[in-house]
Each structure stands twice: as C-alpha cells, then as structure tokens.
Amino acid sequence: MKGEPLVSIISAGMSKFGKRDGLLARELFIEAVSEAFNRCPKLEPKKDVKALFVGHMGEAYEHQGHTGSAIADWAGLVGIPATRTEAACGSSGVALRSGIYAVLSGLADMVVVGGVEKMTHRTTAEVTEYLAMASDYPFEQWHGITFPGLFALMATAHMHAYGTTQEQMGLVAVKNHYNGSLNPKAHMQKEVALQTVMTSKYVAWPLKLYDCSLITDGASCVILTKPELAKKYTDQPIHIVGSGQASDTIGLYERKNLTSLNSTKLAAKAAYEMAQVSPEQVNLAEVHDCFTIAELIAYEDLGFCKVGDGGKLVESDETRLGGRIPVNTSGGLKAKGHPVGATGTAQAYEIYLQLTGQADKRQVIDAKVGLSHNVGGSGATAAVHIYRSEQ
C-alpha cells in the first residue's frame, strides 16, 4: 500500500572505509555485519536470518567470484540462501531492492543485505580498467574511454546547456570533504579549500583530482524484516516506504540527453509515488557523487531544484549541514569513499544513523525522511530508496 512501510531496518553496520591493507573483502564484511548484529542484541543471527544478499561488482580485484557463499561462510551464516547482486557501482542498491523483494514475497521474514569491495591493493590503472567494464565494451571501453571521461562529457554538456561552472562543481567537493571530516569511518577525514580543489590537476577536463571519488576498501550492511516484526528487535526501526529501480542504455553515446540520468528520474518517480512523499518533504539525502558533476545532476533528477539549477543549489548552501536539505552528510563517495559494491548500503547505513539520531557531529536535527540514490556505471542502473523514522 502506498505510504505504508515495505520493510523495516532494525540494524545496520559499516566497516571503516579506506586503504585496508592485509584484509580480504570477506573480512571487511565481517566488520560491517558484526556491528549490525551487536547493535541488535535481541537478534539471533543463525536462527533469525533467512537470506543474504551481497552487492559486489567484480571478481577481478581479488580473483574471487561466488561472493554470496564466501560471505555467508565467513559471517557464520552457512546454510541460508546467499546471493550476489551485480550492477556495477549500484550493486548493493540493487541488493537492497532484492532484499525488499524477499521480505515482501513472504519467503524470508528477515534478511541481511550488504555490499563489499576490496580495491586499493590494485594499481590505479588496473582499477580504472576494471571499473570501465561497467561501460559499453565495443563502443566505449575498446576506444579507451574511462569513467572520468564519461562524466567529463556530462559535465561539459551541463556547462554548455546551463552555465554550470567548475567552481560550482568544486563546492560539492568542499562540502562533502567537510562532512567526511566529521565521519570517523570515512576514507578522507579532512577538509579542503575551494582553492585546493580548483588548482588540483586535471583528470579529464573539466574534472580535476578533487572532483573524483576515491579508490576505497569497505563493506556495509543493513538488516531488514517485516514491519510487524521490527518492534520485537528494536525500539527504533527505520521503515523503507519507497523503492524504485530503473535502467538506461549501457552506452552514454546512445542517449539523447547527457545532462540528466533518465534511470534516476524513473527510479525516483517510482519511489516517491510508492512512499507518497514529495522531494520537498525529504530531510536529507545520500546521492551518488562518484564525480562532483554527478551530485549536481542528482539534485535536478531527484527534484531538489529545477533542471539546470544544480550549480546554483550548491552555491546557496542549502545542501550543507544545517541547510534546507543536507546532501551526503556521510562525506559521500567523494570523501567517505567508494568501494563500489558497498556504496548503496553504505548510503542506507548513513540514513539509518541520521533517522535514529546516532550521527553525532553530522546529525541533521529532527530528520524524519531520508533518501538514498545509487547509480551503476554512467547511469545504466539507478536505485532510489525513501526511508521514514518511526516517530
């Protein structure tokens, strides 16, 4: 039913994001799931958890596939159905959607949904190659285009169409680094000045070093159950009231419009309608800022401002902590880090903290409604979820 909870989050966990030398992806996931289990002492994992969904982009990083079973094994959950979902950088956003399906279907009363990626032991060239696998092989990868290049095309199109500036993109980095400085689990816990952003070296014009998200190791998870069971486990369940997922062409070259992600717009429309929530009612959002231009485009696609006004919105300070709609309070992919398979549920983890009043120095006052927005590739996949506190 529209506006009613689909499922409830009773706990969540996240590993420290960063360069985690000497640890396997499965060990990072144990950090995340252990936190989630410890937050919920009434939970008996081996008895209560009926399924596991893990977002994981690629086997290439660790030469390891079969991630679902590997994670279940090391997390002490052997025996339950364990499934890996893959949608590039949107893998755990899609895992979250899969977990919702499982609970709503009645096949599982409680599921663990998460994501993981171990990336930093590979060279930048290797990571760039592996990430490029999420683009179109014969018409993008083969010709040497990379994701910085693809998002640079979006940036130049947006600049041409709407007068968006490099300084406006730089303000996204400044804001998100400030938020990351308040997050003890963020990869990059330091503030940066706009001048530092603007004078950093170009990666793919107009995107500079500080316009790009980090290569990161990390894991995250949430525990979902039926709304009617949630109060058995916690006094502060967070309800997912809207869920949308959509796709677009795999290749950027096939799209009529480079200044918007149609998958985001479709997923957001579905989530808003299901939740019976308007963009104006959202108190905070975690959006997919793999590059700073992506956050500005997300503002527009999610309805936080008019088309073309993303740059003006970040200039207004309305998306800062204390603003009308704080965005990426965690530090976002830009500062928290982007272990690609873990990003979707890391966004859900931040919303969980915020809506339960556990976000400490970055807490959004009186937050009741949150939104997460996770993108795969250059927008061929998007997942949008809307959350509401119990109060």
Which residues are known to be catalytic? 89, 338
Report the 3 state secondary structure along the chain.
CCCCCCEEEEEEEECCCECCCCCCHHHHHHHHHHHHHHHCCCCCHHHHCCEEEEECCCCCCCCCCCHHHHHHHHCCCCCCCEEEECECECHHHHHHHHHHHHHHHCCCCEEEEEEEECCCCCCHHHHHHHHHCCCCCCCCHHHCCCHHHHHHHHHHHHHHHHCCCHHHHHHHHHHHHHHHHCCCCCCCCCCCCHHHHHHCCEEECCEEHHHECCCCEEEEEEEEECHHHHCCCCCCCEEEEEEEEEECCCCHHHCCCCCCCHHHHHHHHHHHHHHCCCHHHCCEEECCCCEHHHHHHHHHHCCCCCCCCHHHHHHCCCCCCCCCCCECCCCHHHHCCCCHHHHHHHHHHHHHHHHCCCCHHHCCCCCCEEEEEEEECCCCEEEEEEEEECC
Burial class for 280, CB neighbours closer than 10 Å (0-12, 13-18, 19+): exposed
